[in-house]
Structure 1
Amino acid sequence: MTMPALLFAAGLGTRMGPLVADRPKPLVQVAGRPLIDHALEQIDIPAVGARVVNLHYKPDMLRDHLQGRGITFSDESERLLETGGGLRHALPLLGSGPVITMNTDAVWKGPNPVQIVLDAWRDEMEALLLIVPKAQVSGHLGKGDFRIDDAGRLHRAPESIYTGLQIIRTETLDQVTEDAFSMNVVWNQMAARGGLYGVSYTGQWCDVGQPSSIALAEAMLDV
């Protein structure tokens, strides 16, 4: 059995400043490779089936870069739909079962993060987010996102950082009336029902959200 994956590549990447003047953020290079290639490396495992990339800013550049690599595209050229809306828009390409979603603006050092969430996934979960302790994080400017309890459920707290990788059941998306909305909207509903879970990453993670993070990511990767 395989699970489909959606890579979020539609964002404007405004915090990258001049680096995104001539390219979308997923094509900004870290260690000699575009960010989206680092993400694709993580989902290049047998347990991942259909691979979908959503597009908005400079979409033709991403189409050209990913040509011939077995990628299907979810086009958001007319309107940026945020993470929740973007996932719902891509569902015809992903199917009705659980979906892996992953941001494309981070790099990893350690065990395959996608395999970690797949191994930890259980039927009673509505969503399973991969989080990482602050001590293993580089480049992230936030104060923290979640606390994980003894049962593995997540609660909002400025503790561990969300890595941008999850498995999520998509039924709750239909309950949101807006076209464009954040994943936080459905997470809050799931958490209220006790269905929002987390698992911790054991390696290192770098959030490449601004130009200064590129050097941090390359130092983490020892290049």
Structure 2
Amino acid sequence: MTQPPNAVMLFAAGFGTRMGTLTLNRPKPLIEVAGRPLIDHALDLVDALGPVRKVANLHYLPDQLEAHLAPKGVLVSHEQPDILDTGGGLRAALPLLGSDSVFTLNSDAIWSGLNPLTMLRAVWNPDLMDALLMCIPTAQAIGHAGAGDFTADETGRITRGPGLIYGGAQIMKTEGLVEIPDKVFSLNLLWDRMQKKDRLFALTYPGRWCDVGHPEGIALAEGLLADV
């Protein structure tokens, strides 16, 4: 039996510009939802996996985040002087992650329902997949007005198109990162390469999800957590 990934990359380096004044003096992952920092909600999902290596990338106001994460056993990958985007950030953190396949998790979303990480782990098949993304049907995405990022076929393979929103949780192989020459790049570039090989898959989330990307999202997320 193939071993599942034993490392998680938490994306926490962004500026949180859409949060306005809320991120003038603190990084977005420390904004509170229902009395707890956003990143602690994410860590609850990670800790349910059992013992795994936890790494977060830091750039904006990193000292605050590092002080918060150190007691929680989270290693940090500092991105200086430039922020590296998701792809560049993941590649820079590989020495700390120490794994050829990893979970990645955005630190600015709230999930209501089953743990997306344990769901991904149960379905992950590296013989068939280079990445398995947790995606949300548009009707289950709270406060999200877009048409979606991906369209899935009956096998779970995905292509660009409407219908499913990427929720910010996935398992992916990291070997393709070394083939990209850019220093700063998005994981979208790697996904597109995987899709051309028919090795990009999605799992559809059965619960609800809220992206806390703007101040109004805080109240929406708190309402989601309260409605259980």
Shorter chain as denominator, the TM-score bin is over 0.9
- Classify 1:44/1:32 alpha carbon distance in 2 versus 1 (closer, same or farther; 3 Å): same
Root mean square deviation, CA, Å: 1.2
- Indicate which of 138, 141, 151 corresponds to 1:137: 141
Gaps of 5+ in 2: none
CA distance in 1, matches of 2:51, 2:162: 31
Tell me the residue number matched to 2:187.
183
State how 1:105-116 maps to structure 2 within 5 Å.
105-116=108-119
State how 1:22-171 maps to structure 2 within 5 Å.
22-47=25-50, 49-123=52-126, 124-171=128-175
Tell me the residue number matched to 1:210.
214
| Structure 1 residue 217: Cα displacement | 0.5
Gaps of 5+ in 1: none
TM (normalized to structure 2)? 0.95
* Residues 12-56 of structure 1, C-alpha deviations (whole Å, 9 max, x = no match): 110011000010000011100010000000000245510001000
Q: Flag as ranges the 4+ runs of structure 1 deviating above 2 A.
A: 45-48, 139-143
* Residues 141-198 of structure 1, C-alpha deviations (whole Å, 9 max, x = no match): 4331001111110111121110011100011111111000000000000000001000
Q: Tell me which amino acid in the other structure corresponds to 2:132.
A: L
| Structure 1 residue 68: Cα displacement | 1.5
CA distance in 2, matches of 1:203, 1:87: 27
CA distance in 2, matches of 1:19, 1:155: 36
Tell me the residue number matched to 1:222.
226
TM (normalized to structure 1)? 0.97
